Structure 1
Amino acid sequence: MNDLENEEKPKNERSVHVAEPAMTAAAMNGVAAAAALQSVFQRVNQAAEKAGRVSDQIRVVAVSKTKPISMVRQVYDAGHRSFGENYVQEIIEKAPQLPEDIEWHFIGNLQSNKVKPLLTGVPNLKMVESVDDEKIANMLDRVVGNIGRKPLKVLVQVNTSGEESKFGVEPSGCVGLAKHVKEACSNLVFSGLMTIGMADYTSTPENFKMLAKCRSEVCKELGIPEEQCELSMGMSGDFELAIELGSTNVRIGSTIFGAREYPKKK
């Protein structure tokens, strides 16, 4: 230590603290979301280990529905790249304002008249997880071809719970729809199956087991290895169980971003 470091400061000399600007609520929420993401990865790792699986085989899609771009950016800055949205209008507004290397998943119900806005508005759309009939498959196939983008990965959504409120093809129809996508839609890449478990989770194991059964039937019919057919199942309330039952793609929203913020009805 040198003499300058040993000198005592004058007693009347005070250190000056420069106040930093307070973080905005959105920035604070973004920091919390980034921290929550790391907790989710820890839980994914634990669930995979419990099932004797490798966590690298499981994709976490951060679902930012109703959340501001600033929060998405914080999670992106933490190193994450897979994000999902439920509404076409929301994803086509967010995507152009965020980095191009984000891999967007569209996970909501898709109407025919929204296909072109979705595909033209989100060039970095990686996957549509919610193909539930031949009509929407054909529309996606046609628009992908017309705009000249590379083939689009899609999942067939299966209604494994039998609830009328849920979209998706019946389990008995999943083989036919998967076959149609693979054989009749040259601009689409059939990549697997998706489902949404029951909201109260009481029948979720059965829902997930049903999707795994559907995968076996689809892969047998199409002659493809099961490891090449994704299972997108599991959300904030049940993703660990989904991983134990074979999920390769979990869609996590509120556990990362907090409760969704819908506009108050007037």
Structure 2
Amino acid sequence: MAAAAARAGRAGRPPRLVAVSKTKPAEAVREAYEAGHRVFGENYVQELADKAPLLPQDCAWHFIGHLQSNKVKALLEAVPNLALLETVDSAKLASKLDSTVASLGRPPLAVFVQVNTSGEESKYGVEPQDCLALARHIHEQCPHLRLAGLMTIGMPDYTSRPENFRCLADCRRAVCAALGLQEGDLELSMGMSGDFEAAIEMGSTNVRVGSTIFGARQYPAKA
């Protein structure tokens, strides 16, 4: 990560590393914690709700999976140290998050707008042309949320093409211009195990790495 940041002229400013512990036990997360890491990511509400209470409260959790509106309260109640929700993909979800944060008396929650930069029907996220409308809704209509950046997911093999990364950067430029923000005000969350170096070189400030850290994911065998 440091080498990729240096190649991009960002020496000394590597992006945040989110260690994604999907399907891995709390003990594996604790091992990373004891090695000094603090930022972890999960894809599923129940898995995060089960895991977070078993680990130190100074873990900064990122939720990086698709979130249904009816699971918002369960997530926010179970994980008081949820630092960032990376996958807001509709005004409905944003409004539900906003009202729930308010009702629980939590401080404003940092969120990213998820953008489908690859055009795949299987991917969640707003289309690039709809990114600004959602970002504006969060910024102007959701006082209990903080618009912190934009996020995208790579191709099916967890790699992204350069045009996917360029698309997200273009979305950020458009959002910042329209909302009167500086580009430095909004992060770019892009890059996973297969493409994090390329993502950093193209401006990512937040990479989500799982299997490279924790090993291959282990899913339950199907009956």
| Distance in 2 between residues matched to 1:147 and 1:54, nearest whole Å | 40
Percent identity reads: 64
Match of residue 223 from structure 1: 180
CA separation of 1:238/1:117 partners in 2, compared to 1, >3 Å: closer, same or farther? same
Per-residue deviation at 1:198? 1.4
Separation (CA, whole Å) in 2 of partners of 1:176 and 1:61: 27
1:162 counterpart letter in structure 2: G
Contact kept? 2:114, 2:151, Cα under 8 Å = yes
1-structure distance, mates of 2:205, 2:194: 16
- Partner deviation per Cα, 1:10-42 (whole Å, 9 max, x = no partner): xxxxxxxxxxxxxxxxxxxxxxxxxxxxxxxxx
1:236 aligns to 2:180 (yes or no): no
TM-score (norm. length: structure 1): 0.82
Tell whether the 8 Å contact from 2:158 to 2:192 is kept in structure 1 after alignment: no
SS of match in other structure, 1:189: strand
Aligned alpha-carbon RMSD (Å)? 1.0
User: Unpaired runs of 5+ in structure 2?
Assistant: none
2:115–2:150 Cα contact (<8 Å) kept: yes
User: CA, structure 1 residues 105+203, in 2 after alignment: closer, same or farther (shift >3 Å)?
Assistant: closer
Give the CA deviation at 1:102.
0.3
Q: Specify the code of the residue in structure 2 equivalent to 1:176.
A: A
Contact between 1:197 and 1:208, CA under 8 Å: does it hold in 2? no
Q: 1:115 to 1:59 in 2, by over 3 A?
A: same
Task: Give the match's secondary structure for 1:236.
Answer: coil
Offset, 1:149: 0.5
The AA in structure 2 aligned to 1:109 is H
Report the equivalent of 1:118: 75
Q: What is the aligned residue count?
A: 223
Among candidates 103, 113, 135, match of residue 178 of structure 1: 135
Residue 210 (1) aligns with residue 146 (2): no
- Measure how far apart 1:103 and its partner are: 0.3
Partner of 1:153: 110
1:43-71 deviations in whole A, cap 9, x for unaligned?
x0110011111343410000000001111
Offset at residue 199 of structure 1 (A):
2.5
Judged with a 3 Å threshold, the aligned counterparts in structure 2 of structure 1 residues 113 and 243 are, in CA distance, closer, same or farther, namely same
Say if 1:69 and 1:94, in contact at 8 Å, map to a contact too.
yes
Identify if the C-alpha distance between structure 1 residues 201 and 115 changes in structure 2 by more than 3 Å, giving closer, same or farther: closer
Q: How does 1:122-201 map to 2 (within 5 A)?
A: 122-200=79-157
TM-score normalised by L of structure 2: 0.98
Corresponding position: 1:264 with 2:186: no
* Max Rg structure: 1
Report if the CA contact (8 A) 2:115-2:151 is conserved. Answer: yes
Distance in 2 of aligned mates of 1:203 and 1:188: 28
The secondary structure found in structure 2 opposite 1:65 is coil
1:60 match: 17
Identify the match of residue 251 of structure 1 among 181, 195, 208: 208
* CA shift digits 1:99-133 (9 cap, x unpaired): 00000000000001110000000000000000000
Aligned partners of 1:75, 1:54: CA distance in 2, in Å? 24
Structure 1 unmatched ranges of 5 or more: 1-43
Q: Is the 8 A contact 2:87 2:112 kept in 1?
A: yes
Separation in 2, partners of 1:238, 1:202: 5
**Cα separation, 1, equivalents of 2:116 and 2:192:** 15
Aligned mates of 1:120, 1:134 — CA distance in 2: 21
In structure 2, distance between residues paired with 1:243 and 1:264: 35
Partner Cα distance (2:145, 2:14) in 1:
22
